[in-house]
């Protein structure tokens, strides 16, 4: 693994209730990191990493849901009855198999056999350049992070998730597309069923290409702009004064 060079310390200053988690996808077994000693779903592993003090890696033998399929750890694409869409009907997620089959076409998957090991590490134990950094925040903290993305780029916020296989949109979509993605816990069927997260939190997945920009912008920008401190009436008055001042300034450019 490439040693960590990006300064991620600014994320610690967000003082999140749950630690940000760095993730690395590997073809070969990582050295100096212990394998997860239990079996669980992929989404649960994020919570496991937030609780632990040390990094861990897992293989397909550790994953008990469809996360290993999403990560390309399974040979083939799963059982035919699942691919048919009938599983989603049987579980009560979809009205008919056609809806299940349609939604799976949207999901992102890694190519089969390309990832055999996945490393999870809490922020203060990340020693490698992560492929993803996943944050679990409240809405105010998420606003800061997303605003830092747009601060120097003007890029729009984008949230994508599906009813089933929501893990695809957290762990694979940002990695393959290079786009920051976020959604609210309590929207994914599997995550609700296995109680992976408390509902109402914001999960934000930041791919490696965005980490330097977001980290730098978090250092530079105001986390709580003056506009957020004034209250409605004072803000409107302040904004009016600024507009009038700018009109005078640029009256004769």
Per-residue pLDDT of the chain (253 residues; tens, 9 = 90+): 999 999 999 999 999 999 999 999 999 999 999 999 999 999 999 999 999 989 999 999 999 998 999 999 986 556 677 778 888 888 888 889 888 888 888 889 999 999 999 999 999 999 999 999 999 999 999 999 999 999 999 999 999 999 888 999 999 999 999 999 999 999 998 899 999 999 999 999 999 999 999 999 999 999 999 999 999 999 999 999 999 999 998 987 6
- The pLDDT, as a whole number, for residue 78 is 63
- pTM, full prediction: 0.93
SS (H, E, C) 126-145: CCECCCEEEEEECHHHHHHH
How many angstroms separate the CA atoms of 227 and 211, rounded? 27
Distances (CA, A) of 178 to 34, 53, 158: 29, 28, 12
The two three-digit tokens of residue 146, written as one number: 């997303």
How many angstroms separate the CA atoms of 123 and 104, rounded? 32
């Amino acid at each position: 693994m490439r040693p960590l060079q990006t300064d991620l310390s600014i994320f610690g200053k967000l003082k999140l209730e749950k630690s940000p988690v760095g993730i690395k996808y590997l073809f070969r077994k990582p050295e100096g990191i212990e394998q997860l000693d239990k079996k669980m779903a992929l989404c649960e592993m994020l919570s496991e990493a937030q609780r632990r003090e040390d990094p861990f890696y897992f293989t397909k033998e550790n994953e008990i849901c469809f996360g290993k399929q999403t990560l390309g750890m399974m040979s083939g694409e799963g059982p035919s009855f699942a691919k048919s869409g009938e599983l989603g009907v049987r579980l009560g997620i979809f009205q008919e198999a056609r809806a299940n089959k349609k939604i799976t076409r949207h999901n992102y998957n890694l190519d089969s056999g390309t990832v055999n090991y996945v490393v999870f590490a809490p922020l203060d134990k990340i020693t490698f350049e992560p492929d993803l950094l996943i944050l679990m925040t409240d809405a105010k903290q998420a606003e800061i992070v997303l605003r830092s993305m747009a601060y120097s780029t003007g890029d729009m916020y984008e949230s994508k998730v599906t009813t089933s296989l929501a893990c695809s949109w957290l762990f694979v979509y940002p990695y393959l597309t290079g786009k920051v993605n976020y959604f609210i816990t309590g929207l994914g069927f599997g995550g609700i069923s296995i109680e992976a997260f408390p509902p109402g939190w914001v999960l934000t997945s930041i791919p490696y290409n965005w980490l330097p920009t977001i980290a730098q912008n978090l250092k530079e920008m105001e986390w709580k702009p003056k506009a957020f401190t004034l209250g409605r009436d004072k803000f409107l008055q302040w904004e009016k004064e600024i507009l009038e001042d700018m009109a005078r300034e640029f009256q004769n450019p």
